[in-house]
C-alpha cells in the first residue's frame, strides 16, 4: 500500500513564492494530464515508442521462465555475480538491498535459507574487480552478465575477464556458470551467447535500461537470491491499473509529475532530492537519480527547439544526511523540492535500553529506534516547512516485494508523465551514447577511427 502526501507544496503552507495553488493547478491541468495518460497507454504497444516497460507487470511468461531457472539452479551456487552498468544494474541493486536481510552477503548460508550471496559489479575499477576475484570461489559462482546493447565497454570488459577466469578454472564446464541477459537478436553478447551456448534471458524490445527492472534484468538476480518476484510483479500490475486513471485527482504519479514540473518551471525549484528514511531503501535513490537524470536531461524538445532542460536529482538518506545535507536544504538557496519516502512499519523493533537515566540522554531510554527514525523524519519535514521549503512524502506500510513493485513502477510512470509535460523524448539518451562512442574510439574499436583521431587532437 502506497500513500502520497503533497500538503507541503501548497502555497498556504510554504508561501506563494515557493508553493502551488494545488487544487487550481490540478483543475487547470486535468485535461492535459488525461490526454498524456491516454496517449501513453495507447502508444505503449506501438514499436519504437519505448513504452514496453508499461507491459512488464503482465509478462507471466518471463516470471515463469525466471522462476524455473532459479529453481533449477538453487543450491548449485554459493555466489551470484551480476555484471552490468546503469539501468542494467541499479534496479536489481535497489530491490535486493530493500528485500534481502541486511548484511546478506555476510550471513552464513542457513541464515540466507541457503540462497546465494549476491554481488553487483557496476564499475571498471581494477582494484575493486581484483578484490572481488580474490574473494569469490569461481567454482561456486554464477555470473549473470546484463547488457541490452551487448557492447557496453565496461560490462563487456568485466565479462571477458570473468569468462577467461571461469574457463581456465572449470574447462568446458564454465558455460553452466554463465547466464546472459540481452537483446533477443542483436548485439555482440547475443552473438557470443549463441556461439558459446550460454543460457540467456531476453530484454524485450522497446524497454530501455532504466525502465527494465521488472524485466529479466531485475527479476533474474532477485529470483536467484530467493526474492518473491510474483509479489513484486503483482505490485507493479496493481499500480499500473491504478495509474491508468486519467483524473489527476486520483492518480498519484500524475500529481507528483505535475508538482515537479510546476516547481521547476514556475517556482525555480530545479533540484529534486530523493530521501528515504530507511537504509534498506538507500539504493532506490540511486536508481531514481539515474531514471530522472537520463530521462529528463535533454538538449532538444520534441519540436526540435534547443531547451537544455532537466531538473537535477540528488540522493540523500534519512536520518544520516540530516547531519550532512539538511543545513543546505533548510538555509541554502530555495531551489529544491524534497521527496521523502517513509516506512510506517519496520520488520523488527529495537528498544533503546534504560541506562544513563540521570544524564542528558536518559530521555532516549525505553524508546524504540523505530520511533526515533520516524521522529527524525517528522522533525526534518517540519523544519523544512518552517524555512518554506516544499516537500512531498511517499509512504509505504512495509518494505516488502509488493510495495517495492508499487513504488518503483509509480516513479517510472511519474517520469514518463513529466517527460510529456516537458515535451521531450524521455526514452533516449544521446548524451550517454556520445560518451560511450568516445570510449569505443579511445579504446581502438573498429569503425571509430575518425572519432579517435578527432579525440586525440582535442585532448592534446
Is residue 436 flagged as an active site residue?
yes
Respond yes or no: is residue 323 known to be catalytic. Answer: yes
Q: How far apart are CA 199 and CA 107, in angstroms?
A: 29
Q: Applying CB under 6 A, which of residues 85, 227, 229, 337 lies at the interface with ligand PA5?
A: 85
Which of 313, 289, 283, 245 is closest to 404 using CA atoms? 283
CB of 306 to ligand PA5, least distance (A): 23
Binds ligand PA5 (CB under 6 A): choice among 19, 87, 91, 226 = 87
298-300 and 306-309 beta bridge pairing? antiparallel
- Residue 446 CB burial class (10 angstroms; 0-12, 13-18, ≥19): exposed
88 binds ligand PA5 (CB under 6 A): yes
Work out whether 147 is an interface residue with ligand PA5 (CB under 6 A): yes
Near ligand PA5 by CB under 6 A, which window of 59-67, 141-149, 371-379, 443-451?
A: 141-149
Q: Does 298 bind ligand PA5 (CB under 6 A)?
A: no
Q: Is 294 in the site for ligand PA5 (CB under 6 A)?
A: yes
Nearest to ligand PA5 of 402, 409 (CB atom): 409
Minimum gap (Å) between residue 93 Cβ and ligand PA5? 13
Q: Contact at 8 Å (CB) between 213 and 91?
A: yes
Size of the site for ligand PA5 (CB under 6 A): 15
Is residue 52 close enough to count as binding ligand PA5 by CB under 6 A?
Answer: no
Give me the catalytic one of 154, 294, 412, 420: 294
d(CA 384, CA 379): 9
From candidates 152, 255, 322, 339, binder to ligand PA5 by CB under 6 A: 152
**How near is the Cβ of 68 to ligand PA5 at its closest, in Å?**
24
Task: Identify residues 196-225 at the interface with ligand PA5 (CB under 6 A).
Answer: 208-210
The residue written with cell numbers 549463441 in the block is 194
Closest C-alpha to 423, from 277, 338, 310: 310
Nearer to ligand PA5, 211 or 277 (CB): 211
- Residue 294 known to be catalytic: yes
Q: In the set 8, 149, 322, 374, which binds ligand PA5 (CB under 6 A)?
A: 149
Angle between helix 282-296 and helix 401-422 axes, rounded to 10 deg: 20
CB of 125 to ligand PA5, least distance (A): 17
How many Å apart are CA 429 and CA 28, to the nearest integer?
A: 31
User: φ, ψ for residue 297 (rounded to 5)?
Assistant: -85, 100
Characterize the bridge pairing of strands 271-276 and 312-315: parallel
- As a whole number of angstroms, the distance between CA 413 and CA 426 comes to 11
CB 180 to ligand PA5: min, Å? 12
255 within 8 A of 265, measured Cβ to Cβ = no
Which residue, 209 or 276, is less far from ligand PA5 as judged by CB?
Answer: 209
Please identify which of the residues 323, 450, 457, 458 carries the catalytic annotation: 323
CA atoms within 13 A on the CB side of 4: 19
Asked if 429 is part of the footprint of ligand PA5 (rule: CB under 6 A), the reply reads yes
CA angle 29, 32, 38 (to 5 degrees): 135
DSSP secondary structure of 344-407: SS-SS--BPPS-STTSTTGGGTT-BHHHHHHHHHHHHHHHHHHTT--EEEEEESS-SHHHHHHH
Q: How far is the CB of 369 from ligand PA5 (least distance, A)?
A: 36
- Pattern of binders to ligand PA5 over 431-450, x per CB under 6 A? -x------------------
Task: Establish if 148 lies at the interface with ligand PA5 (CB under 6 A).
Answer: yes
Applying CB under 6 A, the residues found at the interface with ligand PA5 are 85-88, 147-149, 152, 155, 208-210, 294, 429, 432
Which positions are annotated as active-site residues? 294, 323, 436
Amino acid at each position: 500500500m502506497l500513500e502520497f502526501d503533497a500538503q507541503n507544496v501548497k502555497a498556504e503552507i510554504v508561501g506563494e513564492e515557493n508553493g502551488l495553488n494545488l487544487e487550481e493547478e490540478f483543475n487547470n491541468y486535468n485535461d492535459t494530464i488525461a490526454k498524456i495518460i491516454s496517449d501513453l497507454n495507447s502508444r505503449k504497444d506501438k514499436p519504437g515508442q519505448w513504452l514496453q516497460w508499461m507491459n512488464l507487470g503482465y509478462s507471466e511468461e518471463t516470471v515463469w521462465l525466471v522462476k524455473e531457472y532459479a529453481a533449477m539452479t538453487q543450491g548449485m551456487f554459493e555466489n551470484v555475480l551480476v555484471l552490468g552498468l546503469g539501468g542494467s544494474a541499479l534496479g536489481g541493486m535497489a530491490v535486493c538491498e530493500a528485500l534481502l536481510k541486511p548484511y546478506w552477503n555476510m550471513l552464513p548460508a542457513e541464515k540466507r535459507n541457503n540462497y546465494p550471496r549476491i554481488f553487483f559489479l557496476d564499475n571498471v575499477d581494477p582494484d575493486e574487480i581484483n578484490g572481488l576475484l580474490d574473494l569469490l570461489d569461481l567454482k561456486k559462482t554464477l555470473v549473470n552478465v546484463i547488457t541490452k546493447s551487448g557492447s557496453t565497454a565496461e560490462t563487456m570488459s568485466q565479462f571477458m575477464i570473468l569468462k577467461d577466469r571461469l574457463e581456465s578454472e572449470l574447462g568446458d564446464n564454465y558455460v553452466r556458470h554463465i547466464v546472459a541477459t540481452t537483446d533477443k537478436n542483436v548485439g555482440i553478447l547475443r552473438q557470443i551467447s549463441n556461439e558459446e551456448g550460454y543460457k540467456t534471458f531476453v530484454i524485450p524490445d522497446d524497454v530501455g535500461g532504466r525502465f527494465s527492472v521488472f524485466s529479466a534484468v531485475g527479476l533474474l538476480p532477485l529470483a536467484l537470491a530467493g526474492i518473491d518476484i510474483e509479489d513484486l510483479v503483482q505490485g507493479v500490475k496493481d499500480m499500473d491499473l491504478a495509474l491508468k486513471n486519467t483524473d489527476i485527482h486520483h492518480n498519484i504519479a500524475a500529481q507528483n509529475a505535475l508538482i515537479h514540473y510546476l516547481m521547476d518551471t514556475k517556482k525555480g525549484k530545479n533540484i529534486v532530492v530523493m530521501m528515504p528514511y530507511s537504509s534498506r531503501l538507500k539504493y532506490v535513490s540511486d536508481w531514481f537519480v539515474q531514471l530522472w537524470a537520463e530521462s529528463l536531461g535533454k538538449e532538444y524538445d520534441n519540436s526540435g527547439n534547443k531547451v537544455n532542460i532537466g531538473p537535477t536529482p540528488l540522493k540523500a538518506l534519512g536520518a544520516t544526511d540530516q547531519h550532512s545535507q539538511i543545513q543546505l536544504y533548510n538555509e541554502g538557496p530555495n531551489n529544491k523540492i524534497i521527496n521523502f519516502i517513509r516506512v510506517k512499519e519496520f520488520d523488527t523493533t529495537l528498544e533503546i535500553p534504560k541506562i544513563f537515566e540521570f544524564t542528558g540522554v536518559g530521555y532516549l531510554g525505553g524508546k524504540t529506534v523505530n520511533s526515533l527514525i520516524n521522529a527524525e523524519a517528522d522533525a526534518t519535514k517540519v523544519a523544512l516547512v518552517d524555512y518554506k521549503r516544499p516537500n512531498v512524502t511517499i509512504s509505504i506500510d512495509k518494505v516488502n516485494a509488493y510495495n517495492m513493485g508499487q513504488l518503483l513502477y509509480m516513479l517510472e510512470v511519474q517520469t514518463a508523465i513529466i517527460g510529456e509535460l516537458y515535451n521531450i523524448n524521455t526514452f533516449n539518451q544521446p548524451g550517454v551514447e556520445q560518451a560511450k562512442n568516445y570510449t569505443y574510439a579511445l579504446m581502438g574499436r573498429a569503425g571509430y577511427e575518425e572519432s579517435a583521431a578527432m579525440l586525440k587532437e582535442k585532448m592534446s
